[in-house]
Amino acid sequence: MPRFRALIHRRRHTIVFAVVLLLLAAGITATTSAIGAQRQATAAGERCTADALAARWHAGSLFVDARSARTGKPILTHRGDEPTQTGSTMKVVTAAAAVSALGPDHRFTTSVVAGAEPGAVVLVGGGDPTLSRLPSGQDSVYPHAPHLDDLAEQVLAARGGQPVTAVQVDTALFDGPAWHPSWPESARTSGSVSNITALMVDGDRDDPTESYSMRSAGAVARAATAFAALLGPAVRVDTTSGTAPSGAQVLGSVKSATVSELVGMLLTDSDDTLAEVLARHVAIAEGAGRSFDAVQACSTKALVRYRVPTEGLRLVDGSGLSPDNRVPASALTTLMRAVAAKQDGLAPVDAGLAVAGRTGTLREHGRFTGAAADARGHVRGKTGTLDDMFGLTGVTDEVAGDRVVFTVFAEGTSDPGARKEIDALAAALWRCGGQGSALQG
């Protein structure tokens, strides 16, 4: 019996000792965690220099709006509600409008129908700028594009050996001027944008494999001539646009890549022609019109769907090439927050954003090098550039439990060094996570 009592006594001491050890361990762990969290917060504070960078800004006039992606709470704002030029950041608006109005799986069809006169066929433009004159199996700047030779084979087979004598065109899908009056002619010669027509091949590039290849003043003629050459040696080309005969036999058709894929190309590579064509399709789908004049109404509808404030917006094209566009940084940031959350079908837009230092326009011009090099791969976005402005709208990777959505414009400057300042600010926002202090200017 004494031995039994001694055993119980020893076990009680052992249990008490174990409990004390557990409590001590828990206290040490909690203290260590608190110290670690404090050190993390201190490190984040030391690295979070976004507000200081904004205060020292010297690359033109700064317009910035940065917010928590999780809560929408402002992190850094300065003239964020003032409408200003957008450059190609406008393409995020166009891309969002396209997936909203058209759907991510929609494709554009180019077709050929029998003409009214014997031997004539009508090439009907479906508003697909990616249609290629290169041989099938050879990619242009647009992967997975349809090819004219496929269309020609279908037509020749459908005609059962009867020769084609003439190619006519129907480009009635779009109307109004093909070139916006506010665009500089240098945009054509530098290879940035083509005439906006319902029928073209390879974005009307001289070289289908080069993104920035000179465009012509005759996009329709280039397409029709290339098609005629595939149908026979003496096929006449008539580029006076008409309307395909009602109920005419369809001799062949080819389809574009999906809107989701096109949006990815448009954003990553900042393709102006693709942006403008998608804007026309959105306008048609929304019943707003078929010309540049319809862009304001159709794009605004999309922004309203994504709960983006539209007061003060002026949208004159889909690419942002016009200096007459006016959008506040806060509106783009609100849209970018919806994009980052992949809200209401916006996943293709999120996927198309360029990655800092790695893809698209964010790997050009020495982007995210020097002081911003640590943010390479941690910021995604869409750049914007005009003769007198530089911009970036985007989203950062998560730090301390939050991401930052932001829009930065440097207006009134032609100094390429503005890109470095924008990158430094975007990198600082990434380092901050959601811990940046608000700056109201």
Gap between the terminal Cα atoms of the chain? 83
Maximum distance among all Cα pairs of the chain, rounded to whole angstroms: 120
Contact 403, 70 (CB under 8 A): yes
Please say if the pLDDT value at position 25 is more than 70.
Answer: no
Contact 208, 226 (CB under 8 A): no
DSSP character string of 107-158: --EEEEEE-SSTTEEEEE--S-TT-B-SPTT---SSTT--BHHHHHHHHHHH
**121-138 pLDDT per residue, tens:** 999 999 999 999 999 999
Average pLDDT for 80-88: 97
Written as one letter, the residue type at 39 is R
Q: What beta strand segments (E) does 219-296 contain?
A: 236-238, 250-255
Write down the pLDDT at residue 433.
Answer: 87
**157-211 pLDDT per residue, tens:** 999 999 999 999 999 999 999 999 999 999 999 999 999 999 999 999 999 999 9
The catalytic residue positions are 88, 91, 270
pTM: 0.87
Domains of the chain as residue ranges with CATH: 48-102+262-432 (3.40.710.10), 109-257 (no CATH)
